[in-house]
Amino acid sequence: MSTVLERPLDVVADFPAIPAGWAYLDTAATAQKPKPVIDAIARGYGETYATVHRGVYARSADMTIAYEAARRRVAAFLGAASADEIVFVRGATEGINLVAQCWAATQLKAGDRILLSQLEHHANIVPWQMAAQRVGAAIDVCPLTADGRIDLDAAEAMLTPAHKLVSLAHVSNVLGSILDVHRAVEIAHRVGAKILIDGCQAVPRLPVDVTALNCDFYVFSGHKLYGPTGIGVLWGRAELLDRMPPWQGGGAMIDRVSFERTTYAAPPARFEAGTPHIVGALGLHAAIDYVDAIGLSRIHAHEAALVANAREALRGINSVRLLGPDDSAGIVSFAVGGVHPHDVGTILDEAHVAIRAGHHCAQPLMAALGVEATARASFGVYNGPQDIEALVDGVRRVTRIFG
């Protein structure tokens, strides 16, 4: 292998669920959890547990402080202007659905258009289809460049004043291609459209600053950032969140309730009806501390080296077709000629290599690539050269078995 991992991270010992000899290459689906996150969750339930925002006793007040500290930590991590711009949701899927319902409810009307791209995850397609159907808006699909990036020249040519919203993935969950968010924001704003960035695959591997990016909404899932499942983040500009109606009614999202008239709390509480995922927020806080202590620039460099090594080694196997650009962020999708990706995944599993095989919740992208499914190896902080070797040896074995 020619690309050397100059400063390998060597943090696998922090991850108790990764046994020696197991190459976990499915971080794009969900990341393994480091000990500090597991400890924060155990402490949250085992030592400090109580409800938030309601209790008059000290334990509940302390938990409220911890829960709101997690919100401030997320705000700092994303470069948000204020913690009030951070809405805790179940994950990116819920964050996008929230915007597609609440923002679209007042801002989208018949004849308006939404621009998505060919590589979006279903979570960034279906909510917009539902929103568009409700009001009679239309969806346009930006094509990709030959190497699998969202074609922003094409997007620029497609955008018109009828476009009210653009929603794009910061990093593709299949191809790993990285969006030039600055340019995407610039061309969306030029026609007066708002822009949502799906940061699910970006936040675990690239530094993100929503203020510098100048986008309007940004979403991500905690579990892909080494945090717990069931907690995610919607960041929205304060003036946009302020104008959005709530989507779920219940406790915590109200100002005053009577049978005659109910008034709503200000954001973010307006969008957090019911008892929240309290311990999930504490786990997410610990995950952000963990990732920040390593440094996202270092993580990105580490994963870029792993990607370069993996692509170079896989390129040396005749029947392998690599998908996506060479500078993909932490994700390598590939096809082995004449072999179904599920068979690739099964044979690799026998060799203790865990990859994802399937359509990756991106069926329109599969159609554009002319495949039903792909094999996907995705990396995290715990991966090293030995995992690439196991992957490449396993793929060679696949080619031998299938002749």
Which residue number, 347 or 381, has a Cβ lying nearer to ligand PLP? 381
Which residue number, 29 or 69, has a Cβ lying nearer to ligand PLP? 29
343-362 binders of ligand PLP (CB under 6 A): 361
Assess contact for 329 and 303: CB atoms under 8 A. Answer: yes
142 is catalytic: no
Residues forming a β-bridge with 23: 353
Given the rule CB under 6 A, which of 45-53, 87-95, 144-152, 287-295 is the region that contacts ligand PLP? 87-95
Nearest to 282 by CA among 35, 39, 92: 39
Size of residue set near ligand PLP by CB under 6 A = 13
Minimum distance between the CB of residue 68 and ligand PLP, rounded to whole angstroms?
23
Minimum distance between the CB of residue 241 and ligand PLP, rounded to whole angstroms?
20
Which residue number, 98 or 390, has a Cβ lying nearer to ligand PLP? 98
Nearest to 131 by CA among 155, 153, 103, 150: 103
- Separation of alpha carbons 143 and 137, rounded Å: 20
**CB neighbourhood size of 118 (10 A):** 19
CA angle 172, 75, 240 (to 5 degrees): 80
Query: Per rule CB under 6 A, is residue 91 in the interface with ligand PLP?
Result: yes
Decide the pairing of beta strands 194-198 and 163-169: parallel
Query: Per rule CB under 6 A, is residue 200 in the interface with ligand PLP?
Result: yes
Which residue number, 89 or 390, has a Cβ lying nearer to ligand PLP? 89
Which residue number, 44 or 204, has a Cβ lying nearer to ligand PLP? 204
Angle between helices 58-78 and 278-294 (to 10 degrees): 40
Query: Per rule CB under 6 A, is residue 117 in the interface with ligand PLP?
Result: no
- Separation of alpha carbons 226 and 136, rounded Å: 39
Q: Which of 142, 169, 233, 355 binds ligand PLP (CB under 6 A)?
A: 169
Decide the pairing of beta strands 86-89 and 232-236: antiparallel
Query: Per rule CB under 6 A, is residue 177 in the interface with ligand PLP?
Result: no
Binding site for ligand PLP (CB under 6 A): 91-93, 121, 123-124, 169, 173, 198, 200-201, 221, 361
Catalytic positions: 361
